[in-house]
A and B are shown apart, each in its own frame.
Chain A
Amino acid sequence: MTRTYPYLSQQWRDEAEKRLSTELPPERMNFVTSSMSNIYRNCPPDGSEKYLFFQFVDGKFVEIQVGTGQPPKAEFSISGDYQTFAKITRGELGAQKALMTMKLKLKGNMVKALKLASLADRLNKVLATIPTEY
Chain B
Amino acid sequence: MTHHTNTNDPYFIDFPGRIKEIQAEMGTRNIDLYLGSRLRTLSWTADAFCPWRSFVVIPAEGLPTVFTFVIDAARVADDSWLGEDNVMGFAPMGGQDQIEQISEFILENLKNGRGRIGVESGMSNYLPEGWLTHYEYSQFQAALSGCELVNAHTIIDKLALIKDEGTINRFREASRIVDVGHQAVFEAIRDGGYKKMTETEIAGIAALAMRRAGSEWEWSFTGGNEIASGYRTGFAGGACTPASRRALQAGEPLMVDIHAMFKLGLGDHSHNYLMAPVTDRQWWHANNFVDIVTKTLETYRADMTPSLIAEKMMGFAEERGFADYMVPGFEHGIGMAGDEWRIGLNDGPFPYWTNPDHVYRENELLICAMQYACPEEGIGFRYENPIIIHSDHCEPLSKFPLGVDEIK
Instruction: Give me the interface of A with B, judged by CB distance under 8 Å.
Output: 79-80, 98-107, 109-112, 114
Q: Is B74 an interface residue (CB 8 A)?
A: yes
A109 touches B88 (CB 8 A): yes
Instruction: Please count how many residues in chain B sit with their CB below 8 Å of the partner chain's CB atoms.
Output: 18
Residues from chain B with a CB closer than 8 A to the CB of A114 are: 70, 89
Q: Do A111 and B95 touch across chains, with their CB atoms under 8 A apart?
A: no
B91 within 8 Å of A by Cβ? yes
Interface string of B67-97 (1 = CB under 8 A from A): 0001001100100000011011111111110
Residues A111 and B94 in contact, CB atoms below 8 Å apart: no
B61 at interface, CB cutoff 8 A: no
- Residues of B with C-beta under 8 A to A80: 94
Are A111 and B89 within 8 A (Cβ)? yes
Name which residue of chain A comes closest to B93, CB basis: A99
CA distance A102 to B95 in the complex (A): 8
B90 CB contacts on chain A under 8 angstroms: 110
Are A110's CB and B88's CB within 8 A? yes
Query: Are A105 and B87 in contact, CB atoms less than 8 angstroms apart?
Result: no
Q: Does B324 contact A (CB under 8 A)?
A: no
Whether B84 pairs with A110 at a CB distance below 8 angstroms is: no
The answer to whether A111 and B77 touch across the interface, beta carbons within 8 angstroms, is yes
Instruction: Provide the B94-131 mask, 1 if CB < 8 A to any CB of A, else 0.
Output: 11100001001000000000000000000000000000
The reply to whether B94 and A109 contact each other, CB–CB distance below 8 Å, is no
Residues of B contacting A103 with CB < 8 Å?
A: 94
B134 to chain A, nearest CB (A): 24
- B87 engages A111 (CB within 8 Å): yes
Q: Bound complex: CA of A79 vs CA of B92, how far in Å?
A: 16
CB distance B94 to A106 under 8 Å?
Answer: yes
Sample of 29 A–B contacts (CB below 8 Å): A80-B94, A98-B94, A99-B93, A99-B96, A100-B92, A100-B93, A100-B94, A102-B94, A105-B94, A106-B93, A106-B95, A109-B84, A109-B85, A110-B70, A110-B73, A110-B88, A110-B89, A110-B90, A110-B91, A110-B96, A111-B73, A111-B74, A111-B77, A111-B84, A111-B87, A111-B88, A111-B89, A112-B84, A114-B70
Using known A-B contacts A111-B70, A112-B84, determine if residue A106 contacts B96 with beta carbons closer than 8 Å.
yes
A47 to B77, CA, bound (A): 41
- Secondary structure at the A interface, as helix, strand, loop or mixed, is mixed
Q: Which residues of the other chain, B, contact A110 by a CB distance below 8 angstroms?
A: 70, 73, 88-91, 93, 96, 101
**A123 to B: closest C-beta gap in Å:** 18
Q: How far is the CB of A8 from chain B (nearest CB, A)?
A: 21
Instruction: Point out the residues of chain A lying under 8 angstroms from B101, CB to CB.
Output: 110
B48 CB to closest chain A CB, in angstroms? 14
Instruction: Report the nearest A residue to B70, measured CB to CB.
Output: A110
User: Which 4 residue pairs are nearest across A and B when measured between Cβ atoms?
Assistant: A105-B95, A105-B94, A99-B93, A110-B89
Contact B70 A107 (CB under 8 A): no
In the complex, what residues of B have CB within 8 A of residue A107's CB? Answer: 95, 104
A99 / chain B contacts, CB cutoff of 8 Å: 93-94, 96
Give the chain B neighbours of A102 by CB distance below 8 A.
93-94
A111 to B96, CA, bound (A): 11
The residues of A that contact B104 with a CB separation of less than 8 Å are 107
CB distance from A11 to the nearest CB of B (A): 30
Instruction: Select from chain A the residue with minimum beta-carbon distance to B85.
Output: A109
B40-76 interface bits toward A, Cβ cutoff 8 Å, 1 = contact, 0 = none: 0000000000000000000000000000001001100
How far apart are the CA atoms of A112 and B74 in the complex, in Å? 9
Cα(A111)–Cα(B95), bound, Å: 14
Chain B min CB distance to A80 (Å): 8
Measured CB to CB, the closest approach of chain A to B353, in angstroms, equals 39
Shortest beta-carbon distance, B352 to chain A, in Å? 34
B97 to chain A, nearest CB (A): 9
Residues of B within 8 A of A104 (CB): 94
- Contacts of B88 on A, CB cut-off 8 Å? 109-111
Q: What A residues does B92 contact at CB under 8 A?
A: 100
